[in-house]
Amino acid sequence: METVFVLNGPNLNLLGTREPEIYGSDTLDDIAVMLDERAAALGLAIDMRQTNHEGVLVDWLHEARETGVKAVLLNAGAYTHTSIALLDAIKAIGVPVIEVHLSNPQEREEFRHISYVGMAAADCVQGLGPRSYIVALERAAAL
């Protein structure tokens, strides 16, 4: 069975505890359950992770290449808007990366309008709350 990595960046471990008006009230574990269900129906396996550390995200992107995963769904959190290291890693690995956001950064503060992740990602799903992850998984399945 093919695997899809779902990588989550800084502060997303706090999901469901603060700012529900922006990010909703589901926790990351709730999203993992929804993704597992959808993945099973699509015949895929999910490997979902979260870290607050940029270099760990880079290491996991490298691991995606080494282990031959089908695709990576990446919500890099605020590193989306700052990280040339993530941009370089996405370009380097040769695995399709789908950028995911709960909110729509384009409709928020100007500093969220630039996405280094988006400069190399194959696709982007944003602004749908937890459904962003599900839609991204469906797009990954179709690759």
Shortest distance, position 14 Cβ to ligand CA2, whole Å: 4
Query: Contacting ligand CA2 (CB under 6 A), which of 31, 57, 80, 83?
Result: 80
Contact (CB, 8 A) for 6 and 35: yes
> If we measure between CA atoms, which residue out of 96, 94, 103 comes closest to residue 125?
103
Q: Tell the smallest beta-carbon distance from residue 1 to ligand CA2 (Å).
A: 27
In whole angstroms, what is the distance from residue 113 CA to residue 136 CA?
20
Is residue 62 part of the annotated active site? The answer reads: no
Residue of 34, 42, 78, 85 interacting with ligand CA2 (CB under 6 A): 78
Q: Is 133 a catalytic residue?
A: no
**In angstroms, rounded to a whole number, what is the distance separating the alpha carbons of residues 58 and 1?**
24
Output the CA torsion sign for 81, 83, 84, 89. Answer: negative
Set 53, 79, 81, 101: catalytic member: 101
In the complex, the smallest distance separating the C-beta of residue 66 from ligand CA2, rounded to whole angstroms, is 26
Asked if 52 interacts with ligand CA2 (CB under 6 A), we say no
Residue found by looking up tokens 């959808």 in the block: 38
User: Binding ligand CA2 by CB under 6 A: which of 24, 39, 75, 133?
Assistant: 75
Distance CA 40, CA 34 (A): 10
Enumerate the β-bridge partners of residue 50: 8
* 14 contributes a contact to ligand CA2 by CB under 6 A: yes
The residues binding ligand CA2 (CB under 6 A) are 11-12, 14-15, 18-19, 23, 75, 77-78, 80, 101-103, 105, 112
Annotated catalytic residues are 23, 101
